[in-house]
Amino acid sequence: MKKILNRVTAFLAALATVASLVLPLAPVRADGFTSTSDTMSRLKISTTSNHTIRLTLPLSYTFSGSATTSDVIAVDFPAGFTSSASGTWATSDFVFIDGTGRTVTTVAQGAGVSDVSCGTGVNDVGVAVDTSANIFRVKACSASYTSSTATSVIDFQILGTAADGTLTNPGTAGSQTVDVTMTDMGVVSAHSTSVAVSIMDDDQVTVTATVSPTLTFDIDIQSSCGSESNTPYAVSLGTLTSAAVSTATNHICLDLDTNASGGALVTVQGSGSADALESSASGDTIGTTYTAGAGGVTDLVAGTEGYGLCVTATNVVTGSATAVAPYNGDCTSNGGNRVGGVDSAAAQFIVTTNAAALDGTANNTADILVKAAISAITSAANDYVDVLTFIATGTF
């Protein structure tokens, strides 16, 4: 009996040895990525989104190419996601970086598509899109592909909001699981992991605000514009003489601030009936008939009656202010005596801004001079007067 048992034992040992030679053990590689994430551009239900899949290769492993068994990274989205139908994904819809920016040369797509034939360059990768299973695979194109370094951080971007291919979020809110695997040296799913993403009913908050329209307008009377003055506002031309053109010592300074997107305009209108300085005592007038536009300017000359305004400067910190003809002679022509007449019948533009404008603390959006000349027979009187009304209007 003992001899029989020894023979059986020897037979079984021999059989085990043969079996071990005939059935070699397959390699087992179940290393997981050390970190994985999926950063989405939108989390809202039924909305297209970009995805940046980031993973770190396991210790000592690289992403490499081969003539027959190139490495492949697969990103598998659950059924709730919807990818574009075949024929829409383009190379520009994908970015792949494994420490080196790679070139996506080819995209293969369609129901059940799992492989792609692509370029032979050292940086060439291809993308295969299984549009029915929502699986995106990145493949190192050839044996000439320069391998990534060990433990590389890999970014695979799927631009699912692009004009070509699209990847749409599920229509139901909740947590979704995206599976990421890597075929390494021909071993399918040698490395694998899963990452959770949250799909929301909405991922955006609308922030609203209101800015009230503002228009601040003030008149100051100063010998030099730049500071405040109080009412009553009055400008004196003094005692006029036919030997010279007179200019009021004080300036009319317009201070305008507005946030009107269409800008603002300032008008001026006289008080009399003859576009002139008028005297009740004498019944005489000193005036220049108002004419609209650039041709309406008048060059005052000593000994000839005339009266008008000119904008000698405009100044704003923000935006721009512009004198309007005929008041924009800038008081330099004709020895500084070119003016625009004052219309007593209707308000006329004198200054405009192109858009919202602020003059800060300068108080001289417009610096206006008042000028007059008389003849030798202008009636004597001490009550010549014209009341100027300035109105600012904003266009909001």
Q: What is the CATH number of the domain that holds 101?
A: 2.60.40.10
The encoded tokens of residue 276 equal 């002139």
Per-residue pLDDT band for 18 (boundaries 50, 70, 90) equals very low
The encoded tokens of residue 310 equal 């000119």
- Out of 154, 174, 199, pick the residue that ends a domain: 199
- Out of 173, 199, 225, pick the residue that ends a domain: 199
What is the domain range of residue 236? 215-394
Same domain? For 304 and 334 the reply is yes
**Is residue 317 in a domain?**
yes
**Is residue 142 in a domain?**
yes
Asked if the model's pLDDT at residue 318 lies above 60, the reply is yes
- Out of 167, 199, 231, pick the residue that ends a domain: 199
The encoded tokens of residue 257 equal 């601030």
> What is the torsional sign of CA 83, 86, 88, 93?
positive
Calpha distance 75→197 (Å, rounded):
13
Asked if the model's pLDDT at residue 1 lies above 50, the reply is no
Same domain? For 319 and 279 the reply is yes
pTM of the shown model = 0.66
Calpha distance 186→68 (Å, rounded):
8
Per-residue pLDDT band for 5 (boundaries 50, 70, 90) equals very low
Q: Which residue has better confidence, 330 or 108? A: 108
**Is residue 2 in a domain?**
no
At 293 the pLDDT is 81
**Is residue 140 in a domain?**
yes
Please provide the average confidence, as pLDDT, over all residues in the chain: 90
Asked if the model's pLDDT at residue 238 lies above 50, the reply is yes
Per-residue pLDDT band for 87 (boundaries 50, 70, 90) equals low
Calpha distance 35→53 (Å, rounded):
11
